[in-house]
Chain A
């Protein structure tokens, strides 16, 4: 398994995540797609750490995980409160902030 395989997988995962964020309406799904993108980046970091024989990438991946965990807490809380007020988890329903 060469370096390229890992990177291609990461790219595919990132693309799936990005497309998911752009096309899906359900906030939970969008949220999971964001997680997917973060993890594809983690994969890239760990891959390069392994290829270069250093731990920098791995350390970075841990940081990303910590931030992602915190983000999940805040993000799910926001989604919850939006759902409570609007009885919907669609991101398109929360479109009041505009021109």
Chain B
């Protein structure tokens, strides 16, 4: 589909990025003078961006609009035009980012009310929104990369927002370094595109990708996937995401649940023309998704930290999205629909968790919660709706979008399709188990509160966004799948949807998923709801539980495979540097210094000795001349 030049409001869509960026600049440069109204400005810019994004989307109507801005890099044969691509795909992302972002900004006003650095928090959040919008709006890979690094920076700053806590500082470093591993992949993919095609714009690359050799396309696909895995917390780079929960809870909701971590899915969906050419890379995407969704679901079952359960749930749900986009054209829309509904209910769940933490004196240990349903009615209801949406309760969001993914997996028709579908259904059961466990441990049962804790409902400024997100969690699936199908909205991007041949009838899938989900809920009730929850985690547990508590030893594997060999290498290099390189240089200097000070002794200051050496020299020269002429 051809792009058309920008007109009307869309020509001003650069304001979407500029508004939050200006907010961040004012708040960061303005310093303490902006303390009093900084949070209002930060929220205002994002709300304005949301309104603008909404108006632009209404004007869009299924076109692909190219907004030319300026020449970003022009050197030799590399010519990068800074431009924005406003098409149906970036439009849904713009709405998700600014919409959920605005709600979370409002929530943060209450959540961070007593933090002395609230202004800086809003500055970083605005920076994040600006970078994320650049990521989804850029019309070339370089702009995407700039946004990609920008959200990484904002994520780092926000995870380490309470940097006086060593755990937060470490988690931020871990997130940054693991992201870097992925970013190298993305950068190499862009280098490869430029080396092979001489262009980095979406149109240029996607138009010419068919002319490349198969191996090159596969390499590009795999490198892009590496980048996506790093940003989205997918296997094998999933270990940073749960640790990132050290950041303030609104950050977890916005960055590490709803938007930034879904950038990988966006990347793969945007690069659909590349993956269309390389079944190998697409199969790897599938495998990554399937593995991650199981890892996340298993690890989520054994965590006691309420935010870590949600984090592993995020890992697992993004695994579903990777699985969907790895299925190819049949899965793109399903994956993106799940991305959007997940953005709603997971952000809502995180905000609910933040509200609970707010009430419980910043404790995250679910073993010390319990019985909060009656004390925090709004939180309970909104969290409960998000919970039902996540586990796929019939006719709520998750039900529509998760089922669509599972159906698409079965529709592959071969043995792999059944395997993937089976894995996805099993993970749906696990999702129901760990989320029910979370609900039961937090809101039901006997209170196991720490002494001195008096739970209370959060202020309206916090509960209002939770209510809106809960409404979104309930309705989004119906709206996106049935009422205003995302499929037809995205047709200009992914082409006409094919009428899929269903291998397993959708009704059967739905019933099956619902039954497995009910089994998960029941199991959770049998294990957690029926008995007393111990306030300290039991020590004598099965090996499976122990493995799940340690997230299937992801950290241990990373440490033994990469960290320790890396440390050995560092130590070896330091040794070689100290002894080898420094030794050679210092030795040479010492030799020269010693010999020259010994030579210096010959400079006695006595004229006669100089005269003798001159005479000796003259005699030697004369002798040599004689020897030469005589010989």
Q: Is the CB of B615 within 8 A of A91?
A: no
Which A43-99 residues have C-beta < 8 A from chain B? 91-92, 94-99
In the bound complex, what is the Cα–Cα distance between A99 and B59 (angstroms)? 88
Selected contact of B605 from candidates A22, A30, A98, CB within 8 Å:
A98
In the bound complex, what is the Cα–Cα distance between A35 and B608 (angstroms)? 16
Is A18 interfacial (CB 8 A cutoff)? yes
In the bound complex, what is the Cα–Cα distance between A90 and B302 (angstroms)? 99
Please, what's the 1-or-0 string for B604-629, where 1 marks a CB less than 8 Å from any CB in chain A?
A: 11111001100100000000000000
Q: Is the CB of A18 within 8 A of B615?
A: yes
Q: Is the CB of B608 within 8 A of A91?
A: yes
Which A1-56 residues have C-beta < 8 A from chain B? 18, 21-23, 30
Selected contact of B608 from candidates A22, A97, A99, CB within 8 Å:
A22
Which A residues lie within 8 Å of B600 (CB)?
99
Which of B604, B608, B615: most chain A Cβ within 10 A? B608
Selected contact of B611 from candidates A21, A96, A97, A98, CB within 8 Å:
A21
Which A residues lie within 8 Å of B612 (CB)?
22
- Report if A92-B608 is in contact (Cβ < 8 Å); known contacts: A18-B615, A22-B615: yes
In the bound complex, what is the Cα–Cα distance between A97 and B611 (angstroms)? 15
Selected contact of A91 from candidates B597, B601, B606, CB within 8 Å:
B606
Min CB distance, B605 to chain A, in Å? 3
Q: Which residue of A lies closest to B608 (CB)?
A: A22
Min CB distance, A96 to chain B, in Å? 6
Selected contact of A98 from candidates B597, B604, B615, CB within 8 Å:
B604
Which B residues lie within 8 Å of A21 (CB)?
608, 611
Which B residues lie within 8 Å of A97 (CB)?
603, 605
In the bound complex, what is the Cα–Cα distance between A92 and B611 (angstroms)? 13
Min CB distance, B611 to chain A, in Å? 5
Selected contact of A99 from candidates B603, B611, B615, CB within 8 Å:
B603
In the bound complex, what is the Cα–Cα distance between A23 and B601 (angstroms)? 21
Q: Is the CB of B607 within 8 A of A94?
A: yes
Q: Is the CB of B611 within 8 A of A22?
A: yes
Which A residues lie within 8 Å of B606 (CB)?
91-92, 95
Which A residues lie within 8 Å of B611 (CB)?
21-22
Q: Is the CB of A98 within 8 A of B608?
A: no
| Count of inter-chain pairs, beta carbons less than 8 A | 31
Which B residues lie within 8 Å of A94 (CB)?
605, 607
Which of A22, A92, A99: most chain B Cβ within 10 A? A99
Q: Which residue of B lies closest to A25 (CB)?
A: B608
Q: Which residue of B lies closest to A92 (CB)?
A: B606
Q: Which residue of A lies closest to B602 (CB)?
A: A99
In the bound complex, what is the Cα–Cα distance between A95 and B609 (angstroms)? 11
Q: Is the CB of A91 within 8 A of B605?
A: no
In the bound complex, what is the Cα–Cα distance between A21 and B613 (angstroms)? 12
In the bound complex, what is the Cα–Cα distance between A91 and B607 (angstroms)? 7
In the bound complex, what is the Cα–Cα distance between A27 and B608 (angstroms)? 11
Which B residues lie within 8 Å of A99 (CB)?
597, 600-601, 603
In the bound complex, what is the Cα–Cα distance between A96 and B604 (angstroms)? 9
Q: Which residue of B lies closest to A24 (CB)?
A: B608
Min CB distance, A37 to chain B, in Å? 10
In the bound complex, what is the Cα–Cα distance between A22 and B608 (angstroms)? 5
Which A residues lie within 8 Å of B603 (CB)?
97-99
Which A residues lie within 8 Å of B597 (CB)?
99
Selected contact of A95 from candidates B601, B604, B615, CB within 8 Å:
B604
Q: Which residue of B lies closest to A19 (CB)?
A: B615
Q: Which residue of A lies closest to B604 (CB)?
A: A98
Which B residues lie within 8 Å of A91 (CB)?
606-608
Min CB distance, A86 to chain B, in Å? 14
In the bound complex, what is the Cα–Cα distance between A99 and B607 (angstroms)? 14
Which B residues lie within 8 Å of A95 (CB)?
604-607
In the bound complex, what is the Cα–Cα distance between A95 and B604 (angstroms)? 7
In the bound complex, what is the Cα–Cα distance between A42 and B597 (angstroms)? 41
In the bound complex, what is the Cα–Cα distance between A22 and B268 (angstroms)? 92
Q: Which residue of B lies closest to A94 (CB)?
A: B607
Min CB distance, B172 to chain A, in Å? 59
Which A residues lie within 8 Å of B608 (CB)?
21-23, 30, 91-92
Which A residues lie within 8 Å of B615 (CB)?
18, 22
Min CB distance, B25 to chain A, in Å? 64
Q: Which residue of B lies closest to A21 (CB)?
A: B611
Which B31-74 residues have C-beta < 8 A from chain A? none
Q: Which residue of A lies closest to B599 (CB)?
A: A99
Q: Which residue of B lies closest to A33 (CB)?
A: B611
Min CB distance, B581 to chain A, in Å? 32
Min CB distance, B248 to chain A, in Å? 70
In the bound complex, what is the Cα–Cα distance between A62 and B247 (angstroms)? 98
In the bound complex, what is the Cα–Cα distance between A91 and B608 (angstroms)? 8
Which A residues lie within 8 Å of B605 (CB)?
94-98
Min CB distance, A88 to chain B, in Å? 14
In the bound complex, what is the Cα–Cα distance between A30 and B605 (angstroms)? 16
In the bound complex, what is the Cα–Cα distance between A82 and B607 (angstroms)? 14
In the bound complex, what is the Cα–Cα distance between A18 and B607 (angstroms)? 13
In the bound complex, what is the Cα–Cα distance between A94 and B608 (angstroms)? 11
Which A residues lie within 8 Å of B607 (CB)?
30, 91, 94-95
In the bound complex, what is the Cα–Cα distance between A21 and B601 (angstroms)? 22
In the bound complex, what is the Cα–Cα distance between A98 and B597 (angstroms)? 12
Min CB distance, B623 to chain A, in Å? 15
Pick 29 A–B contacts, CB within 8 A, sort by A.
A18-B615, A21-B608, A21-B611, A22-B611, A22-B612, A22-B615, A23-B608, A30-B607, A30-B608, A91-B606, A91-B607, A91-B608, A92-B606, A92-B608, A94-B605, A94-B607, A95-B604, A95-B605, A95-B606, A95-B607, A96-B605, A97-B603, A97-B605, A98-B603, A98-B604, A99-B597, A99-B600, A99-B601, A99-B603
Taking Cβ atoms with an 8 Å cutoff, the residues of B that contact A are 597, 600-601, 603-608, 611-612, 615
Taking Cβ atoms with an 8 Å cutoff, the residues of A that contact B are 18, 21-23, 30, 91-92, 94-99
Counting from the closest, the 10 A-B pairs by CB-CB distance are A98-B605, A95-B605, A99-B600, A99-B603, A98-B603, A91-B607, A21-B611, A95-B606, A22-B608, A97-B605
Known: A92-B608, A94-B605. 7 other contacts (CB 8 A): A18-B615, A22-B611, A30-B608, A92-B606, A96-B605, A99-B597, A99-B603
